[in-house]
């Protein structure tokens, strides 16, 4: 069977993304993309189709919102504009408004110079391959405009943030109160800036907010889930119980405990899974990725919680969750998927699940995350001339086998070719940080010599 993923011209693992002003992240392409999506989602019975559009706070979002709006209306589709809105909020609102699709204009954790487009289907999940291929097929056709009386209309949903706040609060039991907790919330100057802190405040917490003054250029700039130094400082200065950091579009979560330790996605997954097991909640098991820390796997195994790995990317985690009919998965970067309460990765919802584990056990985040032993990990990027030689070079296979024998069950080796660069990522994990570093360097040298 052909690998159809490789045939896609524009769609990657998380929509379409790139540098603003460079094809395809240009106004003319977005006009065409809006039209193509409109043609795919337009109802055949001439009844009105509806698509929601949300965006993060980067300055180019205004330009691309207008271009998408023009293309969609030319295809005869009505539009509901949400304004700045987290990616998971668009997924939720697409469902509740019974829209045919939702569109997010965002480049997630990237800097403001980048932007991109993500699509959700009517049930709030990522688009299946078939629909992405259908959109790409229309992108090869010339734009045609429907008859004037059929041109779509655009309107703005003014209570979108309030609806999403209520949804987030409803993902935890109504008896959960955050009174007495002090939180620092870093919104990355992104799309949670007017939402996240209100969720925690309405549940009773005292909240100090940082990274909530977007100007179009400062999204993810020295703040948010990819840069936690400011959050650590504020948590310690405020003597807060914990800190919460989101990325620019609100689908990732990194936390900080009260002593300033950064708590990543693997540790958050462990805390949530452990609490669900304690409460006898049936969630099947946990899906991580090839990059998930070995400590997560061993920690879950000790709790008799099944664990499996998917390829890197939330799309692959989601596919594995559906295939196994499990409800919890994610990545160390903080993209956590709780399918029992959401259809996609959601930073605010994941934070609430973690807070519920704290409240219901009377434990601090520091105590809960300490139950999982995080293993030292070293990753080295090695430039190579031929990534395909990884599988055929005997010297590399022998070097990997030697490292695995040295580490035993308490270690792991991964050689992962980059999908976009002539680079192989050499990753080694184990109990001894110095040994892990030495073995990674030796293995990287073998890859450099023979690939």
Q: Which residues contact 72 (CB under 8 A, 6 or more apart)?
A: 34, 35, 37, 38, 51, 79, 152
Which ranges of 223-372 does DSSP label H, i.e. alpha helix?
229-238, 265-278, 294-302, 314-324, 347-361, 365-369
Q: Given the DSSP bridges, would you call strands 286-289 and 307-310 parallel, antiparallel or unpaired?
A: parallel
- Cα separation, 430 vs 404, in Å, equals 10
Q: Which of 49, 60, 106, 108 is catalytic?
A: 108
* DSSP symbol at 228: -
- Cα separation, 388 vs 417, in Å, equals 9
Concerning whether 108 is annotated as a catalytic residue, the answer is yes
- Cα separation, 373 vs 18, in Å, equals 37
Q: Quote the longest CA-to-CA distance of the chain.
A: 72
- Of 236, 249, 247, 250, the residue nearest 366 (C-alpha): 236
Output the six-digit token pair for 34: 């809006």
Q: Using an 8 Å Cβ cutoff, are 83 and 52 in contact?
A: no
- Catalytic amino acids? 108
């Amino acid at each position: 069977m052909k690998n159809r993923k490789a045939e896609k011209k524009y769609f990657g693992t998380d929509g379409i993304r790139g540098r603003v002003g460079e094809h395809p992240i240009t106004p003319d392409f977005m006009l065409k993309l809006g039209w193509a999506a409109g043609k795919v989602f337009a109802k055949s019975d001439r009844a009105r189709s509806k698509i929601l559009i949300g965006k993060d706070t980067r300055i180019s979002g205004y330009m691309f919102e207008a271009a998408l709006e023009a293309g969609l209306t030319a295809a005869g589709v009505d539009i509901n504009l949400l304004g700045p809105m987290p990616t998971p909020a668009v997924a939720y609102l697409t469902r509740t408004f019974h829209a045919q699709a939702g569109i997010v204009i965002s480049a997630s954790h990237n800097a403001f110079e980048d932007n991109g487009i993500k699509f959700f289907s009517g049930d709030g999940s990522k688009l299946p391959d078939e629909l992405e291929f259908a959109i790409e097929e229309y992108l090869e056709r010339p734009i045609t405009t429907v008859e004037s009386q059929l041109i779509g209309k655009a309107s703005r949903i003014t209570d979108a943030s309030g609806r999403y706040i209520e949804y987030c609060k409803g993902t935890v039991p109504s008896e959960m109160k955050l009174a007495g907790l002090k939180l620092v919330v870093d919104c990355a100057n992104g799309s949670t800036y007017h939402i996240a802190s209100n969720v925690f405040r309405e549940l009773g917490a005292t909240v100090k907010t940082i990274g909530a003054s977007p100007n179009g250029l400062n999204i993810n700039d020295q703040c948010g889930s990819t840069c936690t130094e400011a959050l650590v400082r504020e948590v310690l200065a405020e003597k807060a119980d914990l800190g919460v950091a989101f990325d620019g579009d609100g689908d990732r979560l990194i936390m900080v405990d009260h002593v300033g330790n950064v708590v990543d996605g693997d540790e958050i997954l462990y805390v949530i899974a452990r609490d669900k097991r304690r409460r006898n909640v049936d969630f099947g098991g946990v899906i991580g990725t090839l990059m998930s820390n070995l400590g997560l796997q061993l920690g879950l195994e000790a709790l008799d919680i099944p664990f499996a790995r998917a390829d890197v990317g939330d799309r692959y985690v989601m596919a594995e969750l559906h295939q196994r009919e499990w409800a919890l998965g994610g990545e160390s970067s903080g993209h956590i998927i709780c399918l029992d309460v959401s259809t996609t990765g959601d930073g605010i919802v994941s934070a609430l699940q973690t807070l519920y584990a704290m409240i219901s056990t009377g434990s601090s985040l520091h105590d809960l995350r300490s139950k999982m032993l995080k293993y030292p990990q070293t990753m080295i990027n090695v430039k190579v001339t031929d990534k395909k030689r990884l599988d055929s070079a005997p010297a590399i296979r022998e070097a990997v086998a030697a490292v695995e024998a040295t580490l035993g069950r308490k270690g792991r080796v991964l050689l992962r070719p980059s999908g976009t660069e002539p680079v192989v990522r050499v990753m080694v994990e184990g109990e001894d940080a110095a040994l892990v570093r030495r073995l990674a360097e030796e293995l990287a040298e073998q890859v450099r010599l023979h690939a």
